[in-house]
Amino acid sequence: MTANAPETGAERREEETAAGPAWLATVLTIFPGMFPGPLGFSLAGRALERGIWEVAAHNLRDHALDRHGTVDDTPFGGGPGMVMRPDVLDRAVRAARQQAGDRAGPLVYFTPRGRRLDQKRVRELAAGPGATFLCGRFEGVDERLLEAHEVEEVSLGDFVLSGGELPALVLLDAVVRLLPGVLGAAESLAEESFERGLLEYPQYTRPQVWAGRPVPDVLNSGHHAEIAAWRRMQAEKVTRNRRPDLWQAYQASQGRKEEE
């Protein structure tokens, strides 16, 4: 390519991924058409086009043992609903992880009984080569499959969804935005909620006065140290008032005694 020739998309991708292979999301689901879904747009979508990350969605039904693509059966001991079969899922997991190779990463299964997802775990996943997401349906997955593959069980919160696809998309969005080259300014990541153990401080933009509400004077002062101190104080205030659990953990991390 000459100095004046326009750079092609393929050449940009090669340059951007020269440091290593793209971060790989391997997804096991009965609805592979849900991926990349909303992640095909905006920042994540552009990063996907640029080859910063990839998604490989595998249809669990392709590994069924009958011509009907059956992946579930009735639960032993009785009860409502159906349970996803360990033999079918085992075939799918092994095939997908073999295909992913060194980028298979941890095997994550979404369930309300799992460990609550937090920003620390998101950062750890983003720092690796990829991850494999098992999206359950129906009443869940046979326990023996989870034991056999040492699956990491993850929860987004104390509520129930119809399947693991939406949690997988949520986690992927959180991971992808941390990958190098996705966000323009690294400083914006450092200022976000949870990065310092606090919720984010309030944000303001133009107009300076709206509906009788002015922007705080300190933000127009030009004194960077005072602005930083104000933002830190506001972040502590909102965390203390809205998330006492986070505030207690933050206090402990700072070596402070819990305030009355």
pLDDT tens digits in sequence order for the chain, 260 residues long: 334 444 443 344 444 444 589 999 999 999 999 999 999 999 999 999 999 999 999 999 999 999 999 999 999 999 999 999 999 999 999 999 999 999 999 999 999 999 999 999 999 999 999 999 999 999 999 999 999 999 999 999 999 999 999 999 999 999 999 999 999 655 556 556 576 889 999 999 999 999 999 999 999 999 999 999 999 999 999 999 999 999 999 999 888 755 54
* Residue carrying the six token digits 């009965």: 30
**Paired strand residues for 209:** 214
Spatial separation of the C-alpha atoms in residues 30 and 46, rounded to whole Å: 26
Q: Quote the tokens at residue 117.
A: 């997802």
Spatial separation of the C-alpha atoms in residues 215 and 230, rounded to whole Å: 13
Q: Which domains does the chain have, with CATH numbers?
A: 9-176 (3.40.1280.10), 191-253 (1.10.1270.20)
Spatial separation of the C-alpha atoms in residues 154 and 69, rounded to whole Å: 27
Nearest alpha-carbon partner for 129 in 187, 60, 175: 175
Spatial separation of the C-alpha atoms in residues 97 and 94, rounded to whole Å: 5
Question: Is residue 23 within a helix (H) or strand (E), and if so which, with residue range?
Answer: strand 23-29
Spatial separation of the C-alpha atoms in residues 13 and 50, rounded to whole Å: 5
Tell me the residue length of the chain: 260
Q: Quote the tokens at residue 255.
A: 């070596």
